[in-house]
Amino acid sequence: MDLATILSAVLTLTAGIGIFLVACQMMSTNLESASSNKLKNLFSNAARSKLLGVGIGALGTAAIQSSGATTVMAIGFVNAGIISLVQASTIIYGANIGTTITAQIVALGMFGEGSAITSAIVFSSLAGIGAFVSLFAKKDLWKRIGGILTGFGMLFVGLDLMSQSMSDFAALDSVKTFLARINNPLLLVLIGTLLTAIIQSSSVMTSIALAMVVTRLINIDQGIFLTMGSNIGSCAVALIAGMTSGRNAKRTALIHLFFNISGVVIFLLIEAVLWLVSGKDVTYGSIFTKMFPNAPQTQLAMFHTFFNVVTVIIMLPLTQLLVNTVCRIIPDDKHPIDPNAPHLYHLDDNMLTTPPLALQQTKKEIVNMADLAMQNFNLSLNIICTLDFKDSGKFSIREEELNFLNQAIVDFVVKLSEKPQLSQKDHIYLSTTFRSVRDLERIGDYAENIVEYAESLRFINHKFSKEAIDEIRQVQALIDNLYEKIMIAYENEDIHALEEANIIEEEIDDITKAMEDNHIKRLEQGICGADVGAQYLSLSSNVERVADHLINVGKTIRRTTNS
């Protein structure tokens, strides 16, 4: 009989954990998609102050219901050089506070036991409501809202199964006797750490602890130490992400681990002092039992929040010391990477854990590539007008970087396109990036052609006439104006800016045609020779094609705005 009960309880617990994990993933996925722009704006403000960084981490985690995703996101930003180690640390601090929201929600769902309609039943019904919304909704936003409701409801379906399994265990005297013997705080912390690392979700571990406390399978003090251990175990995801990334990413993962270990050590020391002073009469459990009588779920949930908030208050002033410590443990390479070596400026594979935010960063990376291409284009025109090659080294470095970005962005987009969290509009945008990247790389190639024309002029000891240089400067100004309008259109999906860009592109077509006509006249008048003329005609053709490629980049917004 006992064996059958144990087997049934284990299977029920497994089912509950599975549903809970799926629900967390469903909520996280849909919340990320629905709030991607807000998340982007949040993280972009992380550099303002440490307290703001904590707030951003807390709000971001509360929004997507995943401290792991927030932490891995911070690791990705550090690895890409977008935020500093100090900024990442404060975001991670906040993520630890934000993740306590799940425990508070779960505790709320445990009220009403024994009545016909419990809060868990009411919340569980949202799974069905959300499913109907997702099934019949036409707009993508409503589908996401339906997904959020379904995930939220499923949390309580999983929780109910876990609570049921704990009730089955609680009916077995042998199980209760065994668990009662495990009262060593260090052992309980270790168990909580290991189980969380295996499950890879501190929310699930905390919810199991809540269910065990409510069913009186364990006491409140045991639940507290298991929960403290879950904080350390939650670092497993970040450590895996950090160890497969760059040096600063490894440091960020280590900061996360040290932060959580420090909090546990501090609270264990305080507990030891309380025991010595009171003779074990005063514990965290006894304190929170008096604060929230007859509500064991609230006692544990409130301790979880208290633990993380106090740890942040203690560790926040020590952030720089913590950063310095991990930098000594993982020192800078004695042979540092060449800062001029090609690299991604805004992207890192760790960002793939949060696809909506990764998509925003992809757009920033493409905008950055456009800036590099235009820097080289303008430099090529300056070189051919002045025959001054002093900046040709910078030109070569940027050209190499453009070639690298052409492939690296495409590789990242291919991986990102496979993620299910993206909306139909997101997938449409990603499909346009392949051509945009190719167009920008071609602008770099035309700039390279122009530099080669300049080298030919230098070789034959000739240069363009003043009239020809004036025409080049005139069309250069138009190209710069076109680029400005295209970037406004591309970044903001601004159709009006694209229409203005089309007008400028028509002017460029006219002036490049005039350049060819004027050049033929100069040839007839003997102002310039045939050798110089060939380079000039090729240059005007290249300039016109650069304008076409910029327009192609801008036109991609028509597909996303019409979707």
Q: Which domain holds residue 354?
A: 349-561
| ∠ Cα 539 544 550 (to 5°) | 125
Query: Could you tell me if 400 and 273 lie in one domain?
Result: no
Please name which of 241, 260, 252 lies closest in space to residue 69, comparing C-alpha atoms: 241
Query: Could you tell me if 263 and 395 lie in one domain?
Result: no
How far from the centroid of its chain's Cα atoms is residue 3's Cα? 46
Query: Could you tell me if 321 and 355 lie in one domain?
Result: no
Does some domain include residue 342?
Answer: no
Does some domain include residue 138?
Answer: yes
Does some domain include residue 499?
Answer: yes
d(CA 288, CA 558): 58
Whole-prediction pTM: 0.69
Does some domain include residue 338?
Answer: no
Query: Could you tell me if 280 and 361 lie in one domain?
Result: no
- CATH code of residue 471: 1.20.58
Query: Could you tell me if 446 and 507 lie in one domain?
Result: yes
Does some domain include residue 522?
Answer: yes
Tokens of 560: 């996303």
Does some domain include residue 190?
Answer: yes
Query: Could you tell me if 20 and 114 lie in one domain?
Result: yes
Please name which of 386, 180, 215 lies closest in space to residue 297, comparing C-alpha atoms: 215
d(CA 346, CA 436): 17
517, 488 contact by CB (below 8 A): no
Query: Could you tell me if 272 and 371 lie in one domain?
Result: no
Query: Could you tell me if 241 and 378 lie in one domain?
Result: no
Q: How many domains does the chain have?
A: 2
d(CA 131, CA 422): 18
Tokens of 315: 């560790």
Whole-angstrom distance between the N-terminal and C-terminal Cα of the chain?
A: 60
Please name which of 353, 482, 409 lies closest in space to residue 77, comparing C-alpha atoms: 353
Query: Could you tell me if 381 and 491 lie in one domain?
Result: yes
Does some domain include residue 335?
Answer: no
Tens place of pLDDT per residue across the chain (563 aa): 467 777 887 888 788 878 877 776 777 667 666 555 555 556 656 556 677 778 878 877 776 666 766 777 777 777 666 677 888 888 889 888 888 887 787 777 666 555 445 666 777 788 888 888 888 887 777 887 888 788 878 877 877 777 777 777 766 667 667 777 888 889 999 998 988 888 777 777 888 888 888 888 888 999 999 999 988 988 876 777 666 666 777 888 888 899 999 999 999 999 888 888 877 778 898 899 999 988 888 899 899 999 999 999 999 999 999 999 988 888 876 655 555 678 888 888 877 877 877 888 899 899 999 999 999 999 999 999 999 999 999 999 999 999 999 999 999 999 999 887 777 888 899 999 999 999 999 999 999 999 999 998 888 888 888 888 999 999 999 999 999 999 999 998 899 999 999 999 999 999 999 988 887 787 777 666 666 777 888 899 999 999 999 999 999 988 776 65
d(CA 3, CA 527): 102
d(CA 212, CA 220): 9
192, 267 contact by CB (below 8 A): no
d(CA 122, CA 151): 14
